[in-house]
């Protein structure tokens, strides 16, 4: 059975301002219990900052978490997948790009986010793609 990403994705797009600090991002992720935030600048989504980015590009490089901005470590451009694609395409894209979160688009507009956790839940409940 194939289920579209529309059913699996999270429609709540968690964002953080491009001017926010790495510490702000870490705290926001903890508060809203997500592993990645879309970075917003002037009403546009310009990148993604993840827990992995915070650890590998922030802490491991000795960046000042209270002063350094999320734009210094975010991934950009945002990697996306169209909403009508099967779960297998999302899994393939994540694997190919080495990422854990994909922005889901509908007609070019970001309408949600799908994570590795969402795909694992899919495997558990629905089996193979």
Q: What is the pLDDT along the chain (129 residues), one digit of tens a residue?
A: 455 788 889 999 999 999 999 999 999 999 999 999 999 999 999 999 999 999 999 999 999 999 999 999 999 999 999 999 988 899 999 999 999 999 999 999 999 999 999 998 877 776 654
Closest CA to 66 of 115, 116, 23: 23
Distance CA 43, CA 10 (A): 20
Q: For the domain made up of 5-126, give the CATH fold.
A: CBS-domain (3.10.580)
What pTM was estimated for this model as a whole?
0.88
């Amino acid at each position: 059975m194939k289920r579209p990403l529309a059913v699996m994705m999270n429609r709540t797009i968690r964002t953080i301002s491009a001017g926010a600090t790495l510490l702000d991002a870490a705290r926001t992720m903890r508060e809203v219990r997500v592993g990645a935030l879309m970075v917003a600048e002037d009403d546009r989504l310009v990148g993604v900052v993840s827990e992995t980015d915070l650890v590998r590009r922030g802490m491991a490089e000795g960046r000042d978490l209270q002063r350094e901005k999320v734009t210094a470590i975010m991934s950009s451009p945002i990697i996306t997948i169209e909403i009508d694609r099967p779960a297998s395409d999302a899994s393939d894209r994540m694997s190919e790009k080495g990422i854990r979160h994909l922005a889901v688009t509908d007609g070019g507009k970001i309408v949600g986010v799908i994570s590795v956790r969402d795909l694992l839940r899919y495997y558990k409940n629905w089996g193979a793609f």
